[in-house]
A and B are shown apart, each in its own frame.
Chain A
Amino acid sequence: MTSQAQVRRLLSLVPYLREHDGAAVADVAAAFGVSPKTLRADLNVLWMCGMPGLSPGDLIDIDMDAVDGEGVIHLSNADYLTRPLRLTADEALALVLALRTLREIAGPDQRAATDRALAKLEGAAQATPTGSASVAVTSATEDVRATLADALQRGRRLDLTYDTATRDETTQRSVDPLRLFVLDGYGYLEAWCYRAEGLRTFRLDRIADAAVTDVAVAPHDVELADLSAGWFAGLADAPVVTLELAREAAWVAEYYPTETTAPGPDGGVVATFRVTDPAWLRHLLLRLGGSARVLSPSGAGDAAAEAAQEALAAYESVGL
Chain B
Amino acid sequence: MAPRKTERIVNLTIALLVAGRYLPKTRIRELVEGYHGLTDAAFERTFERDKDELRELGVPIEVGGYDPLFEDEAGYRILPSEFSLPPIELDAEEASVVGVAARVWQHASMAESTQSAMAKLRAAGVEPDPSALAALEPSVQATEAAFGPLWNAVLERVRVRFTYRDGSLRTLEPWGLTSRRGRWYVVGRDVDREATRMFKLSRIGDVPVAVSRPGAFEAPEGLDLRTLAAKLDPQEPTAEALLAVRAGKAPSLTRRGRRAEGTPDLAWSADGREGWWVGYGSLPGMAEEVAGHGADVLVVEPVELREAVVGRLREVAARAGAVAR
Name the contact of A3 in the complex, choosing from B6, B121, B248 (C-beta under 8 A): B6
For the complex, is B56 an interface residue (Cβ under 8 Å from A)?
yes
For the complex, is A183 an interface residue (Cβ under 8 Å from B)?
yes
The distance in angstroms between the C-alpha atoms of A46 and B139, with both chains bound, is 35
Q: Are A88 and B137 in contact (CB under 8 A)?
A: no
Q: Are B178 and A136 in contact (CB under 8 A)?
A: yes
Interface-side segment among A66-74, A77-85, A192-200: A77-85
Interface-side segment among B69-77, B191-199, B204-212, B249-257: B249-257
Q: Are B317 and A312 in contact (CB under 8 A)?
A: yes
Identify the 5 closest CB pairs spanning chains A and B, nearest first: A184-B182, A289-B312, A185-B182, A290-B315, A83-B84
For the complex, is B131 an interface residue (Cβ under 8 Å from A)?
no
For the complex, is B177 an interface residue (Cβ under 8 Å from A)?
yes
Q: Are A177 and B138 in contact (CB under 8 A)?
A: no
For the complex, is B314 an interface residue (Cβ under 8 Å from A)?
yes
For the complex, is B223 an interface residue (Cβ under 8 Å from A)?
yes
- Given the known A-B contacts A109-B93, A113-B96, A169-B248, are A95 and B117 also in contact in the complex, defined by CB atoms under 8 Å? yes
The distance in angstroms between the C-alpha atoms of A31 and B90, with both chains bound, is 17
**In the assembled complex, which residues on chain A have CB atoms less than 8 Å from the CB atom of B83?**
83, 85-86
B166 to chain A, nearest CB (A): 11
B114 to chain A, nearest CB (A): 5
Select from chain A the residue with minimum beta-carbon distance to B115. A33
A247 to chain B, nearest CB (A): 12
Q: Are B122 and A129 in contact (CB under 8 A)?
A: no
**In the assembled complex, which residues on chain B have CB atoms less than 8 Å from the CB atom of A83?**
80, 83-85, 123-124
Name the contact of A180 in the complex, choosing from B18, B102, B135, B319 (C-beta under 8 A): B135
**In the assembled complex, which residues on chain B have CB atoms less than 8 Å from the CB atom of A312?**
310, 313-314, 317
Q: Are A104 and B138 in contact (CB under 8 A)?
A: yes
The distance in angstroms between the C-alpha atoms of A304 and B321, with both chains bound, is 11
A111-138 vs B, CB cutoff 8 Å, 1 = contact: the mask equals 0011011001101100001011111111
Q: Are B182 and A186 in contact (CB under 8 A)?
A: yes
Name the contact of B155 in the complex, choosing from A11, A90, A206 (C-beta under 8 A): A90
**In the assembled complex, which residues on chain B have CB atoms less than 8 Å from the CB atom of A230?**
106, 141
Some 22 contacts from A to B, beta carbons below 8 A apart, are A3-B53, A10-B6, A13-B123, A19-B123, A46-B10, A88-B57, A95-B118, A106-B136, A120-B88, A124-B88, A136-B181, A136-B229, A137-B138, A168-B250, A183-B139, A185-B181, A227-B139, A288-B288, A289-B312, A298-B324, A311-B295, A314-B295
**In the assembled complex, which residues on chain A have CB atoms less than 8 Å from the CB atom of B41?**
none
Select from chain B the residue with minimum beta-carbon distance to A121. B88
A13-41 vs B, CB cutoff 8 Å, 1 = contact: the mask equals 11110010000000000011100000001
The distance in angstroms between the C-alpha atoms of A310 and B300, with both chains bound, is 17
The distance in angstroms between the C-alpha atoms of A274 and B296, with both chains bound, is 26
For the complex, is B46 an interface residue (Cβ under 8 Å from A)?
no
For the complex, is B226 an interface residue (Cβ under 8 Å from A)?
yes
CB under 8 Å from chain A, chain B span 36-60: 53-54, 56-60
Q: Are B322 and A50 in contact (CB under 8 A)?
A: no
- Given the known A-B contacts A85-B57, A317-B271, A319-B267, are A290 and B312 also in contact in the complex, defined by CB atoms under 8 Å? yes
**In the assembled complex, which residues on chain A have CB atoms less than 8 Å from the CB atom of B271?**
314, 317-318
A residues engaging B (CB < 8 A)? Answer: 1-16, 19, 31-33, 41, 44-46, 48-54, 80-95, 97-99, 101-102, 104-106, 109-110, 113-114, 116-117, 120-121, 123-124, 129, 131-138, 152, 163, 165, 168-170, 177-186, 206, 208, 227-228, 230, 254, 282-290, 293-298, 301-302, 304-315, 317-320
The distance in angstroms between the C-alpha atoms of A54 and B81, with both chains bound, is 25
Q: Are A99 and B57 in contact (CB under 8 A)?
A: no
Given contacts A284-B292, A305-B317, 17 further A-B contacts (CB under 8 A): A91-B120, A94-B117, A99-B97, A101-B139, A120-B89, A124-B85, A132-B176, A136-B226, A152-B135, A170-B248, A179-B135, A206-B252, A286-B312, A298-B323, A305-B320, A312-B317, A314-B271
**In the assembled complex, which residues on chain B have CB atoms less than 8 Å from the CB atom of A52?**
11, 14-15, 18, 31-32
B12-38 vs A, CB cutoff 8 Å, 1 = contact: the mask equals 011101100000000000011100000
Select from chain A the residue with minimum beta-carbon distance to B251. A163
Name the contact of A134 in the complex, choosing from B102, B179, B312, B318 (C-beta under 8 A): B179
B residues engaging A (CB < 8 A)? Answer: 2-3, 5-7, 9-11, 13-15, 17-18, 31-33, 53-54, 56-60, 80, 82-91, 93-98, 100-102, 104-106, 110, 112-125, 133-141, 151-152, 154-155, 175-183, 202, 219, 222-226, 229, 244, 248-252, 255, 266-268, 271, 273, 288-289, 291-296, 298-300, 306, 310-325
The distance in angstroms between the C-alpha atoms of A13 and B6, with both chains bound, is 14
Q: Are A49 and B122 in contact (CB under 8 A)?
A: no
Q: Are B255 and A91 in contact (CB under 8 A)?
A: no
The distance in angstroms between the C-alpha atoms of A110 and B151, with both chains bound, is 28
Q: Are A315 and B11 in contact (CB under 8 A)?
A: no
Q: Are B140 and A11 in contact (CB under 8 A)?
A: no
Q: Are A308 and B97 in contact (CB under 8 A)?
A: no
**In the assembled complex, which residues on chain B have CB atoms less than 8 Å from the CB atom of A88?**
57-58, 113
B28 to chain A, nearest CB (A): 9
B270 to chain A, nearest CB (A): 8
Select from chain A the residue with minimum beta-carbon distance to B226. A134
Name the contact of B5 in the complex, choosing from A3, A185, A285 (C-beta under 8 A): A3
A219 to chain B, nearest CB (A): 15
**In the assembled complex, which residues on chain B have CB atoms less than 8 Å from the CB atom of A7?**
6, 9-10, 13, 53-54, 57
